[in-house]
Amino acid sequence: MPVSSNSNPTPTPMTPYSFFSERRRKCDIPAAGSSCVYCSARRLDCNRKDLSVSKGSSILEEAPRTVSLPEKCTLPDEPLCTELVELYFDYVHDKFHSLFHRPSLLEDIRRGATPEILIYGILALSARFSNHSSFAETDPRDRGKGYAKRCEQLLNLNDVTLTTIQVCVLLGAIAIVDGNAASETIYYSIACRIAQLLDLPNCDAPNRVEKEVNTRVWWTLCMIDVWSSTGVRLPRLMIPQPNIPLPMNEATFLSMTRAQGFTVLVSKDRASSLLAQMVLLNRILSEINDFNIKAANTTLTEEYKTKTISTLSANLSTWLKNLPEHMHDTPSNLQSYASQGQGQLFVTLYLGYYHYGQMLFYRFLHEDVRGYTPRTHFYAQQCKEHAVRLCEIIYRSEELPGCDVLYSMVGHVLVIASTVQIHTLLFGDEGSVVRARARLEKNFVILTKLRALWPTLDICMERLQAFHRACRSSVDTSFCMDGWMVRFLVEFANPISDKEGGVKRPWALEEIGIC
């Protein structure tokens, strides 16, 4: 079955070569020969149903482990609480979402002026990163569960305020990192509706800091809506409004205080804001997702597909061309942003750009093998270039202090980039095969590290397994942009069944020449 994400033990150490022969764990199988409960509920083809139960073993031995939670979770003391909030800003905020003004929130926490519900939601996401001795005996993936439960208990949907929006976004993030896409979209939908009811970006605010927070939360919801709605195949809720200003420059925003009121002069040019650039990129992602889904579900003319892909490709190129020089993806620029405390946000921006490119051009991997034309070969190479650059910026981020990206979505985009490396292994020349093999091994190490933090990485690993089984079944069709492939690319939090006709037995990386 696809790995359950509700409660998971610490991932066992693995190597790239043992991954695909690892047994799927935590399956609740009601009777020998039947599908597990997880797969039955989701109408998935379970590859555990044919396994025999050896003598002396019990199905109960593989039942999900329950995490013991205190009856009422309480907040830690002020020093630890502040440490965990700092970790949230270091590893989660502005990567998952942008909800707060860091200096103001930390000040409010020190004064005891922050609603407890917000702190519980923040700690539920950040406790996994802590080295504090109080967490030493607790699996990093379980540390936030008590805080998350308390946050849920305190939620009051009659409180139609910014705080409730922020809480719902936090709870949505908590849900998705546990692999619960349904709860995620419900929480995000509530946040979107409250923001629309309040007309959040146009709300009166007592100072420029809070006005900018409203703007950033609004744009956060717009970006989340593209990812989340596509992931569950539901219509988007946030309709773009051209009159809403983009977020301001991060350095300017963080240097402001609420006490300054509206006295701070802010440039109307928002091009230097990393978050603003993410918003602009996200609009292109929305169009890419719409096109891929439409192309998989309906018969489009070649003329329409050619024109649309050309337009979307030009949009990506124009975005890159319009960037200020200091925002280009270069080692010196990454170093510069790292020195300002914005290195992770810079990396996150380019993870988006490279991922959207590999999403747009992915279909040409299949078309280039099926029949060479200059156009298909060019776009296939573009897909490979985006995937390589995505891998490389993650590698560089790990080498530079303050740049490492450890949020869960890194796992999804890295899985997609890894499948592009598999294409090179299968169809590339000798030199490119060597480089692709090295990237796959590095990617596996990174995915394993992320898996120790986020339960949803179990699903990422399962999806990679499913893709490998598709390759093993039919190399000729495994990269075809059909409905299965679109689900693989966009439904990042959902397990995926084997492609029709896929083999059901596990197989190892050795079988595609990795070792």
Q: What is the pLDDT of residue 369?
A: 77
The residues, any chain, with a CB within 8 Å of residue 506's CB and separated by 6 or more, are 20, 21, 22, 47, 465
Residues above pLDDT 90, as percent of the chain:
64
**Does residue 406 share a domain with residue 320?**
yes
Assign 259 to helix, strand or coil. Answer: helix
Give, as one character, the DSSP assignment of residue 477.
Answer: T
Residue 231 lies in a domain: yes
Label residue 36 by pLDDT band (50, 70, 90).
low
Residue 181 vs residue 477, higher pLDDT: 181
Range of the domain at 183: 78-257
Label residue 46 by pLDDT band (50, 70, 90).
low
The residues, any chain, with a CB within 8 Å of residue 54's CB and separated by 6 or more, are none
Residue 30 lies in a domain: no
Q: What is the pLDDT of residue 511?
A: 38
Token pair 């939908």 in the structure block, residue: 189
Task: Look at the chain and report how many structural domains it folds into.
Answer: 2
**Does residue 320 share a domain with residue 232?**
no
**Does residue 360 share a domain with residue 233?**
no
**Does residue 313 share a domain with residue 237?**
no
Q: Convert the pLDDT of each residue in 368-420 to its tens digit.
A: 777 778 999 999 999 999 999 999 999 999 999 999 999 999 999 999 999 99
**Does residue 247 share a domain with residue 324?**
no
Residue 387 vs residue 23, higher pLDDT: 387
- Backbone dihedral angles phi then psi of residue 93, each to the nearest 5 degrees: -65, 140
Q: Convert the pLDDT of each residue in 236-277 to its tens digit.
A: 999 888 899 999 999 999 999 999 999 988 888 889 999 999
Q: Is 277:253 a contact under the CB 8 Å cutoff?
A: no
Q: Is 400:408 a contact under the CB 8 Å cutoff?
A: no
**Does residue 354 share a domain with residue 379?**
yes
Token pair 């995926």 in the structure block, residue: 496
Alpha helical stretches, state H, 155-242: 162-177, 181-198, 208-231
Confidence check: pLDDT of 29 > 70:
no
Give, as one character, the DSSP assignment of residue 71.
Answer: S
Neighbours of 441 (CB within 10 A): 16
Side chain identity at residue 2, one-letter code: P
Residue 28 lies in a domain: no
Label residue 22 by pLDDT band (50, 70, 90).
very low
Label residue 222 by pLDDT band (50, 70, 90).
very high
Rg (CA), the chain: 23
Token pair 């602009």 in the structure block, residue: 280
Per the structure block, which two tokens stand in for 272?
Answer: 């230097």
Q: Is 361:380 a contact under the CB 8 Å cutoff?
A: yes
**Does residue 278 share a domain with residue 210?**
no
Q: How far apart are CA 208 and CA 203, in angstroms?
A: 12
Residue 350 lies in a domain: yes
Confidence check: pLDDT of 53 > 90:
no
Residue 93's DSSP bridge partners are 97
- Cα separation values, 340 from 334, 346, 411, Å: 10, 11, 26
- Cα separation values, 127 from 73, 257, 372, Å: 13, 28, 51
Q: Is 393:403 a contact under the CB 8 Å cutoff?
A: no
Assign 470 to helix, strand or coil. Answer: helix
Neighbours of 249 (CB within 10 A): 18
**Does residue 278 share a domain with residue 193?**
no
Residue 52 lies in a domain: no
The residues, any chain, with a CB within 8 Å of residue 135's CB and separated by 6 or more, are 127, 143
Q: Indicate the average pLDDT of the chain.
A: 84
Q: Convert the pLDDT of each residue in 74-130 to its tens digit.
A: 999 999 999 999 999 999 999 999 999 999 999 999 999 999 999 999 999 999 999
- Using a cut of 0.85, tell me whether the model's pTM lies above it: no
| Mean pLDDT for the stretch of residues 190-194 | 98
Q: What is the pLDDT of residue 35?
A: 53
Q: How far apart are CA 352 and CA 410, in angstroms?
A: 10
**Does residue 314 share a domain with residue 199?**
no
Label residue 488 by pLDDT band (50, 70, 90).
confident
**Does residue 386 share a domain with residue 426?**
yes
**Does residue 308 share a domain with residue 225?**
no
- Cα separation values, 397 from 109, 129, 135, 151, 250, Å: 30, 17, 27, 32, 20
Side chain identity at residue 216, one-letter code: R
Q: What is the pLDDT of residue 481?
A: 76
**Does residue 178 share a domain with residue 116?**
yes
Q: Is 168:146 a contact under the CB 8 Å cutoff?
A: no
Label residue 465 by pLDDT band (50, 70, 90).
confident
Q: What is the pLDDT of residue 9?
A: 39
Q: Convert the pLDDT of each residue in 305-327 to its tens digit.
A: 999 999 999 999 999 999 999 99
